[in-house]
Structure 1
Amino acid sequence: MVDIYSFCKKKLLWIIFIFFLGGCATVPKKIIWQDATEVAMNSFKLKTGDIIVKNKLWNEPISWGGHCGVMINNFEIGDYPKIGINFYSLPSYDWLMERGRKVVVLRYDKFNDKFKKYFEKNAIEYSKGTYLLTLNKFSTNHFYCSKYVWFLYYKTGQDMGYNLNIDSDGGYMIFPYDFLNSKELHQVLI
């Protein structure tokens, strides 16, 4: 008989191992990290669809892969933050007010009014999932922070009739730092 504790412990260690390896993507030299509180003070400049990537904090293992959220409208950031907490949205100012944290704001060049209409619909529709680190990035039932962001763009592209993949390395899992190297996104200084 399998000891449930040992089984769960092994699975958790594998997930942490995969997460750590995938979350160690290199940061391109052209990226400029901004102070999160300064971006919060200028959050009125953020637009629907903007992706905010937070830096990694090495003293907090949960943040070794970085973190990200997405503007689900012009005022709120949508996020699947961590195990035990499913989707939530916060005013962008509140989400960004984390002293000592650095962020990068990324924007999709082809984000027009038609794209925005589908994007906002999808942001609501896929906010009903549960938090789970999964290797199936096409699943619509389980999300984590960067998978939610990736899936919103992927699904909106599908709705518009084209393939859109903002994941720079095309792996099974999407990590926040994968967006930094995406050819579809550019940095916006706020």
Structure 2
Amino acid sequence: MLKFRINDIDVEAEPGWTVLETAREYGIEIPTLCFHEAVQASGACRLCMVELREGDWTKLVASCVYPAKDGLNVYTESERITNVRRWIFEMLLSECPASQEIRDMAAKYGVTSTRFAIKDPEQDCIMCGLCTRVCAEVVGVHAIATQSRGVYKKIGSPFMKPNEACVACGSCVSVCPTGAMARRIDLVRGKMEEDQTNAA
């Protein structure tokens, strides 16, 4: 077993565990959005950041991808982490203001407004990629993909057209942290009435 400390509490982890997995094992809360046990962690949303300390040295890491190691000193609620978490929530509120899930989670951590400009009041997707990863890694059909790059990046089927590879399993909807995929599923699989017409 690996032995280290989280918030000055002695913890043990199995080899291969991450800091996030260890914290959850001990009931220590670290917020996440892009993490799901069913797929490989990506560290995309950075909401799970924690602070590592060793004397005067400190480092911020994404706990979902940082491996547990002997002798770590991890802090999940330090002043530095609280400040970073606030900034991330404010950015999320500006990037996907239509997501009630994001607003509720941000409010839980004391963030109810954002200083950043809101470009699309209807946006509810944080581009975390959970839907694409579960479709590829668990379902194995690659029916969902990330389109374009930067500010033009979107989540949908290749070429943004209904994809015959989609098996309508709902895995993407179940892992989506903001509920956005439930409102986009028809863009991937096509509307059910169209499927029924084509089948006839």
TM class, shorter-length:
under 0.3
With CA pairs under 8 Å and 6+ residues apart, which has the higher RCO, 1 or 2?
Answer: 1
**Highest Rg: 1 or 2?**
2
Give the structure-2-normalised TM-score: 0.22
Give the structure-1-normalised TM-score: 0.23
